[in-house]
Amino acid sequence: MAQNDHVEKSKATMPAVNRTFKSTVFIMLFEDKKNLLELYNAISGKHYTDPELLEINTLENAIYMSIKNDVSFLIDGRLSLYEHQSTYNPNLPLRFLLY
């Protein structure tokens, strides 16, 4: 019984697990305009060199809705949305429409 009490106490003192750590790392990496421009160029095949062309407009918490996206920005009049996914998600295009 004493061992069970010890396990229960250790569970209570352990910090909560961040289940979105991969998404958090993705966001932290690409909130930097230089890294984000490199990602955009790699995906789009473009060759932009000035990170200041990016206008980051990522949703943190939309009013009255708990909507967040990982990374969104405007460049040259185009809106780009990037979302980190660890698993296949067939609803992703629909989620982009909601953003």
What pLDDT, on a 0 to 100 scale, did the predictor assign at position 33? 94
pTM: 0.63
Q: Rounded to the nearest 5°, which phi and psi values hold at 27?
A: -65, -45
The partner residues of 71 in beta bridges, in order of sequence, read 82
CA–CA distance, 34 with 54 (Å, rounded to integer): 9
State the pLDDT at residue 8: 56
pLDDT at 34: 96
User: CA distances (Å), 53 to each of 28, 58, 71, 78, in order?
Assistant: 19, 15, 15, 11
Walking along the chain (99 residues) 10 residues at a time, the average pLDDT comes out as 55 61 75 94 96 86 60 90 81 73
* pLDDT recorded at residue 84: 79
Instruction: Check residue 18 and give its pLDDT.
Output: 58
